[in-house]
Chain A
C-alpha cells in the first residue's frame, strides 16, 4: 500500500467518523447558577465545621497546658513550672552504711523519760484499783439481790404448801361425811 492510498483510506475513515451525530444541548443557565450557589454554600459550611473543630482542638490543648503549667511567687522570685513544682528541696540520700548505723543506734534515755514512764505506770495501777473496787461493789449488790429473791421464793413455796394442806384437810373431812 503506497502513501497516497493510505492517505485516501484515512480520509475515507474520517468521513465515516463524521457520520456520528451530536445531540443538540441547551444549557440551563438558571440551574448552573443555582447549583454553583448550592456548592459554594456547602463548601462554606464544610469550612465552618473544620474551623470549629480546629478551635475546639486548640482550646483543649490550651486547657491541658494551662492546667499543667504552674506559676509560683516566692520571696526569692517567680517560678514557672511545667507539671507539679517541687514542694521542698529533697534531702540528699545518705550512703547505705550510714543508713544502717542510723537504724541500729538507740536514742539516749534521759531521767525525764524515766520519770514519765513511772508516772504512767502509777496512773495505770491506780486505774486498775478503781476498776477493781467498782466491780467488787457491783458483785455485792448482785449477791444481796439474789438473797432477797431466794427468800421470796422460799416464802412463796411455804404459802403454796400451806394452801395445799388446807385443801387436803377439807377434802378429807368431806369424804368422811
Chain B
C-alpha cells in the first residue's frame, strides 16, 4: 500500500473483507483515537477506556464480514462503541468521575494556570456525568464527534427532531452547571 495515499474507509473495508489483515490494522490505527475520545466522553471513565476500546475492535473484527456499505463506516463504528459503552454502564454503575492521574502538562504553563485547567476539566467531566444518558449521547455525538442529526438518528434509531431537542436540553443543563466557569473566564479575560 502506498504510504502517501490515505485510502478512504470504504476501500480499506473492502480490502479487509477480501482477507487483507493490513487493511484492518490501518482502520484500527485510524480510528483508535476517535473511538477512545468518544468512549471517554460517553462513559466518564478514562481509566477504562483502553479496555473498552479493545472490546470495540474485537466486536468490529467479529462483525466485519457482515458489514454492508449502507451508511458510513464511522456511523457503524460509533454504533458498536455506543453498545460497548452501554454494556459497560449496565455492568458497573458509573461511579465517581476520575481525576486525571497523568503527569503535568509538558507545556510551559504556570502552576495556577495548570490547576485552573485541571479544575475546569473536572467540572466539565462532572457536568457531563450528571447528564442523563440520552442527553449525554446526543451531546457527545453532535458536539464532540460532529455528526449530523440525520446520522445520529440512524445511529440511535431516534428521530432527528428528538435528537435536536435533546441536544438543546443538554446544552442548557451544561450552561447552568458551568456558569461559574464562564464567569471566571470573563473576569480573567474581560
Contacts and interface: CB of A to CB of B under 8 A. Distances in A.
Interface of A: 9-10, 12-14, 16-17, 19-29, 31-33, 35-36, 39-40
B33 A20 contact: no
B164 to A, nearest CB: 14
Contacts of B50: 23, 25
A20 B125 contact: yes
A45 to B, nearest CB: 16
B121 interface: yes
A26 B28 CA distance: 9
Contact of A19 (B53, B62, B117): B117
B182 A23 contact: no
A21 B98 CA distance: 12
Nearest to A26: B32
B135 interface: no
B36 A25 contact: yes
Given A17-B143, A20-B124, A27-B32, A12 B182 contact: yes
Interface in B144-185: 144, 171, 174-175, 178, 181-182, 185
A9 B62 CA distance: 44
Interface of B: 25, 28, 32-33, 35-37, 40-41, 46, 49-50, 53-54, 57-58, 61-62, 100, 102, 117, 120-121, 124-125, 128, 143-144, 171, 174-175, 178, 181-182, 185
Given A12-B182, A17-B124, A32-B57, A23 B36 contact: yes
A31 B36 contact: no
Given A13-B178, A20-B125, A39 B185 contact: no
A13 B53 contact: no
A19 B57 contact: no
A28 B54 contact: yes
Contact of B171 (A10, A20, A24, A36): A10
Nearest to B31: A27
Interface of A is mostly: helix
A16 B120 contact: yes
A35 B120 contact: no
B33 A13 contact: no
Contacts of A27: 28, 32, 53-54, 57
Contacts of A23: 36, 40, 46, 49-50, 102
9 contacts: A9-B175, A14-B143, A16-B181, A16-B185, A20-B41, A22-B33, A27-B32, A27-B57, A40-B62
B62 A36 contact: yes
Contact of B61 (A14, A17, A36): A36
A13 B171 contact: yes
A24 B175 contact: no
Nearest to A36: B61
A27 B53 CA distance: 7
Contacts of B181: 16
Contacts of A29: 25, 28
Most buried by B among A10, A22, A31: A22
B28 A32 contact: yes
Contact of B121 (A10, A20, A35): A20
A28 B28 CA distance: 10
Most buried by B among A10, A13, A19, A25: A25
